[in-house]
Structure 1
Amino acid sequence: MYGITLILVLAVVGGVIAFIGDRLGTRIGKKKLSIFGLRPRHTAVVVTIFTGICITTVTFGIMAAVSENVRTALFGMDKLNALIAETRAALDFTAGELTRAQSAQEEASGELTKSEEEIARLRAEQEELHAESDRLSAGNRALMMEKEGLISINGRLTGENETLQEDIRALGVRAQELRAGILNLREGNITYQAGEIIASGVIPARLSHDEIERGLAGIAQLGTRNISARLGENHTDQDLWIYRPEYDAAVRAIEESSTDMIVRIVAAGNLVRGDEIRASIELYPNRTIYHDGELIIARVYPPEGLRGAAEQAVMAFLRDVNAAASDRGILPDPLRGTVGVIEGAEFYGLVQALAERREATVISAYAAGDTDAMGPLRLTFKIESEGTP
């Protein structure tokens, strides 16, 4: 809108100046005026030229008055060109700086990317280090627990070592005792072996307390006599030693029993000549196991099995008799495991009789008299041919 107004103003001003010039030129022409001694026609031309100059001058003057750009174009072009050159140079410098800045930015972006990658790597390493630290912490805790366990085990082993040392010392003492015992055994100084019966007897049921004690005292006196007999006449002063609580317990057990009780006084250990006689009490209920003439066992032997083996057959038969009687309830000897006795002459007579048989033979063993659990079992034998009524 401002440009249109300026154009209209210039057009109006130019038209007014042209009109004035035309009027001035016409009057000069009519009046035949002369300027600077020129001819009137030439003067009209000069006026026309002056009018054009005025129009141009006024136009530029108005434009210069109303527009700074026109003033700059008219009076500051060199300055403007220099400014443009400076601006262009600054722009080129700025463009170069911008290019360098962009390059630097790209380098910085690359470095930033590398830094981010390095940060990511460092974070991953940090996480690994944290995990390793956690594993080390767990391992350290486990090592501490293991250390505490080892300390505890060491303490226990120290205690066990002390116990073992004491056991070793005790075993050393025991070994010396055993060596002494073996030496005594070799030299014949063992009076009774551990578990060997010193004396035995039967105490009937339903006796009074005093009667039971008198019965036990009688069996103990029998044991003393047996010891003295085994040691010889110079050791008649040796007495049995029985642990008092064990003795009292035996009295109560006999007192409470409704059946007769077998009392065995046995050696508590190997009794060496000259040592204190220590013994213990064993109790067994008594009853009749075999009646007189009762069959114990019978065995059949074929004739071919007796040729040259009669003695082995008799020994095997006696072992069967011993096993059958033990199973029936007769108490075996603690050391030998036997329940009865047989004379040597009777044994060889049985072997001889069996060796003379030429047909299948039955050997039978019978109880010779009533036999209770205490024994011993005495036997009678019968040899007959198989099938004999």
Structure 2
Amino acid sequence: MTTGLVLIAAVLVLGGVIATVGDRLGTRVGKARLTLFNLRPRRTATLITILTGVIISASTFSLLFAVSDQLRTGVFELENIQDDLKETREELKEAQSEKERIETRLKNARRQQNTAQRQLEQINRSLQQAVEQQVQTQAQLKSTQQRLNESQTKFQQAQQLLSTVSQQAATLQAEIEQLQTDRQELIRQRDAVREQIAQRDQEIAQRDQAIASRETKLKDLESQIAFLAQQKDTLEREYEDLRRGNVTLFRNQTLAWGVVRVDVPSAAPKAVDQLLQRANQLVAQIIQPGTTKVDNQVIRITNAQVEQLANQIASGEDYVVRVISAGNYVVGEPCVLAGEACIDVIATAVPNQVVFQQGEVIATTTVNPTAMNSQVVAERIFLLIAAAQFRSRQAGILDDTVRIADNRRETVMSFIEQVQQSTLPLEIQVVAAEDAYTAGAQLELIAVRDGQVLFSTS
């Protein structure tokens, strides 16, 4: 193998060198415009290139024949080798015939002769399978044929060979058993690794779920913080308005609302008008305290908004209709006293549909009464209530229709005291006590430990 690689490398290097020399020689001949045999310079350069290629081929064959005896033998003596092989096979046939005649005279050595025959057949198969060992096998066959009469010696040699083969077979069997044992151990290790990987994947999935849950809670808290900041800004502005004047009607304050279902489309304008009248009466009483009878209109809304609202609720479904204030107004608003309809209002209608299913968790938090003081526990629960109210408003439920427990502060404070008395960490949840609709929601506070509800506000 090494000789062949060296030979190939030498041929490649020699070919590259001669090709380079030929190229440069042809280039110089072309540049010098030399001529041979009265040929033109270009023809002379072409002839030089052809001669260079011939030299490359000749040098390559010379190198191959000089270095490789097998190649010379294969090229020049192939027919002789084939004739020798044919003669050898004929001699082999004659030897087999001679062997058969000897078998008839060697009754006492039948067993030895059969063993020699098996050895001979094995040698024949080896001759057919291994061309590289052909010369050695033929020598062994001739030696076997010459020593056939010495059957006892051949028998002993066959026994030795059989013993060697038996030892090799035993060794191979032991190696096979060892490999099988190793394979079983590797399979066991592979199964153990797969179980560990599956367990790790499950743990990673659980951690991913926990991270996703915490990210969701974080987003909810961020939304709640943003909403509370907005509320803070609103309250600050309203506080400023209070300092500057006696504000009695606030922006986005609900003036009138109701669940409306119109079976006949023609009745929709009347339903809207009734809500507007209720809102008008309430506004008049707020702006002018002590007013009992309202004869003039003080609220202002465009006809287009009224028509749009009437068309919306004329579908025959349940709608929650609200009339809310569009701005802040003070007691004794000058325009109202002047008899003008100047209190801008907005009327909205949303389908009265299920927002939360019964038992659905609206908001949740965790407390550890043993590691927190009572004030922190109470603040966290109040923040949880604010978050639940915020989420309810975000889902479309009216602000003043979300009730916590029985809507009594005493009930919530009793629940907080129970939480503060606990000696174990608890998960506090706000859940829907019943199906919550757009028109209102009944929420309950529950304390959960390991999935079990310990106590609640219900």
- Per the normalisation by structure 1, the TM-score is 0.45
Larger radius of gyration: 1
Higher relative contact order (CA 8 A, sep 6+): 1
